[in-house]
Amino acid sequence: MIKLPIVRTKIFYILSAFILFSCGANRNLKDRANVVEESSKRVIKNHYKNTFDQETLSADLKINFKKGGSSKSISMSLKLQKDETILLNGSFFGFSILKALITPDRVSYYIKPTKTYYDGDFSSLSKLLGTDVNYEMVQNLLLGDAIVKLNATDYDSTLDQQAHLLTPKQPNELAKIFFWVHPLNYKIEKQEVISNEKNGFLTINYEDFQNINGTSIPGAISIQAKNDKNNASIHLDYKSIELNKKLSFPYKIPSGYKRIEK
């Protein structure tokens, strides 16, 4: 069951490493002024026809996040081999501060300022984010695809904000997940989780769509997370995006670092 992620100060760097960018529209957003309502079957079918189908993606990005009255910024590089590997390298004022490697059966990261590391399965990340997480979910979130499997029989489709809004017919007792789908390219424009616990929600918006070699990618993502105890926002801007470039994924945990237990 999906639970709303609980954002903590200690995981800001980690969270920013996993929520990076998505694919988006390759036509002007104003072109959809006359969009008409479609069935959930058609919307979901077209969404899956337009999922990210490139072999690799690399990008540089800047991440700004705020919690309460404090704010932080970090530069991040991303390398992604579809269905295989995600590598992230974060720096602050030019100094490398963290590195993370994600594969279908492994999550590993180390943080230089604290000289700590984690190397294991997805259980640690699931615990930190408050929801069951796997590689496919992380990858889909990065690529702008639905974070959970969509079936037409489970969703109603209506129009909202000139987009196709998929609403669960029978949400589970813990949370409801909504999807706003772009009516031209059928990529996810917004994903929102509303939790019945702790009055929480998580909203992810994909913005400033651009076309790169025939593939639609947004220039930014805005994220808001809130519950009874925390209220945080994250904004990501992307630069130097490249597709289908041959990538290497060097990763080694430095000696002398202390292991973070589950």
Q: Is the pLDDT of residue 109 over 90?
A: yes
- pLDDT value for 153: 94
Q: Which residues of 77-86 are buried (b: 16+ CB within 10 A; e: fewer)?
A: bbbbbeeebb
Q: Is the pLDDT of residue 204 over 60?
A: yes
Cβ partners under 8 Å of residue 119, min gap 6? 106, 107, 108, 253, 259
- Residue 190 within a domain: yes
pLDDT digits (tens, 9 = 90+) for 1-14: 444 444 344 444 44
> Higher pLDDT residue, 77 or 144?
77
Instruction: Provide the whole-model pTM.
Output: 0.78
- Residue 116 within a domain: yes
- Residue 133 within a domain: yes
Report CA-CA distances (Å) from 151 to 42, 91, 97, 225. Answer: 11, 40, 41, 26
pLDDT digits (tens, 9 = 90+) for 16-38: 444 333 333 334 445 677 889 99
- Residue 2 within a domain: no
Q: Residue 218 belongs to a domain with what CATH number?
A: 2.50.20.10
Work out the number of other CB atoms within 10 angstroms of the CB of residue 172: 12
Using CA atoms, how far apart are residues 179 and 213, in angstroms rounded to an integer? 26
Looking at the 3D structure of the chain, how many domains does it have? 1
% of the chain residues with pLDDT over 70: 82
